Amino acid sequence: MIKLLPCPFCGGTAELEKMGWPHHVFCIECGAKTTSGKLAEEGEQEAIEKWNRRVKKDDCSMTAVDLFDQPFTREMEVNNA
């Protein structure tokens, strides 16, 4: 089984919920979760892959601090909808 990375939001422990369908990986600390729409082992694998996916720093043009330092404009609202 693939190791689950810590929660990207709080650093908490993640667990795979295997009961029924759909499959979820969730943080036991803050409740963040990913979901897979696939069945059986494919669903488990997809949920784990989604949970473990992280954005590479080079792929980000702005940080959250940069975003909050900017005044909100209508253009930002429309472009991010």
**pLDDT for residue 59:** 58
Model confidence at 78, in pLDDT bands (50, 70, 90)?
Answer: very low
> pLDDT (tens digit, 9 = 90+) per residue, 37-71?
888 888 899 999 999 998 776 655 655 555 555 55
Amino acid 30: pLDDT: 95
In terms of pTM, does the model score above 0.75?
Answer: no
pLDDT value of position 51: 93
Phi-psi category of residue 72: left, alpha or beta, with phi > 0 → left and psi -120 to 50 → alpha: beta
Which residue type occupies 13? T
Beta bridge partners of 14: 27
Give the type of residue at 30.
C
Residues shown for the chain: 81
